[in-house]
Structure 1
Amino acid sequence: MDARLVAPAGAASAVAYFEIRNSGAVGDTLLYADSPEAGISMIRTTGPGRTERVPSVRVPAGGRVRMAPGGLGVVILDPPALAPGVTVDYNLWFRYSGRVTVRTPVVAGTK
């Protein structure tokens, strides 16, 4: 699983992106994501002039979901100071696979 957390200096929020691969024969569903180190998080999607909460994300059998700017991501509301170069643990909670903990590097971003 690829991951990164983009933390713009002085911003009121940050965002984490994950590339989730399902090598199994059965689909799974990402139900939510959290990090005790990063604060309150929610899965969301963005597009031109909109941001919406996403209740779950289907990960097809043998497939993948790639979160990226302008699409799916995990927004962190009121994040603590997160310095580029450190890593934080992120828990991804799936319907069938349960909790998957991912070491997520923090990278610099822009407001």
Structure 2
Amino acid sequence: MTERATRRPSRRRLTDTLLAALAPVAVCGLALGGLSTWTAYGNAGSPARIKVTDGKVFLPSGGVPETAAFFRVTNSGGSADRLLKVTTVEAGAGSPRLSRHLMTGTGSASAQTVASVAVPAGEGLDMSPNGLDVILPAKSGWQSGDLVAFTLHFEHGGAVKTLAVVVRPGQDTT
């Protein structure tokens, strides 16, 4: 046999090499197809789509210097977002702040200021007197039914302007 004939790969070796190269290519194609389907039927990779509704502000009473505001925040996008702060020019002196009310073991509640709140992708956030709310300085002269303008600031969704109606505590606004 000549030297040239011994360097020639065998048919089996060529088949094994081809199969070894084909396996990663097939896996990549399958992964790309799966990701394409996931993106086409879901919201994979889409930005956060924030909507703020059902705003209400408790009517201040009894000379209390602060009141609370509540909103329903929905994120129909494919990415999570964060509520960073809430602003309004219609409140009394001072700035609104995000607050979370927690029940203590003694049957009383405590409020803690929070820096921001997560709004997961495809989910919502319902503020309430027993959970997350916005504490703000009360403005004298507010009456039931008045509208108060707010801007909710989100990390990715930017500023979202909305109105909240002034209601008596315990009044159903739905």
TM over 0.5: yes
Q: Does 1:23 align with 2:82?
A: no
3-state secondary structure, aligned to 1:109: coil
Query: For 1:15 and 1:96, how far apart are their aligned partners in 2?
Result: 25
Q: Does 1:42 align with 2:102?
A: no
Query: For 1:97 and 1:86, how far apart are their aligned partners in 2?
Result: 27
Aligned pairs for 1:52-71 (under 5 A) are 52-71=112-131
Gap runs ≥5 in structure 2: 1-52, 104-108
Instruction: Provide the TM-score with structure 1 as the length reference.
Output: 0.91
Query: For 1:80 and 1:92, how far apart are their aligned partners in 2?
Result: 19
Query: For 2:65 and 2:168, how far apart are their aligned partners in 1?
Result: 14
Aligned length: 109
Candidates 57, 66, 72, aligned match of 1:13? 66
Contact 1:84 1:106 in 2 (8 A): yes
Larger Rg: 2
Higher helix share: 2
Among the aligned pairs, what percent are the same residue?
A: 31
Candidates 28, 43, 54, aligned match of 1:2? 54
3-state secondary structure, aligned to 2:59: strand
Query: For 1:108 and 1:54, how far apart are their aligned partners in 2?
Result: 25
> How much is the aligned-residue C-alpha RMSD, in angstroms?
1.3
Contact 1:7 1:13 in 2 (8 A): no
Candidates 139, 142, 166, aligned match of 1:80? 139
Give 1:106 shift.
0.6
Please give the per-residue CA displacement for 1:43-87, whole angstroms capped at 9, x wherever unaligned.
00012231100100100111001100111000013x212211110
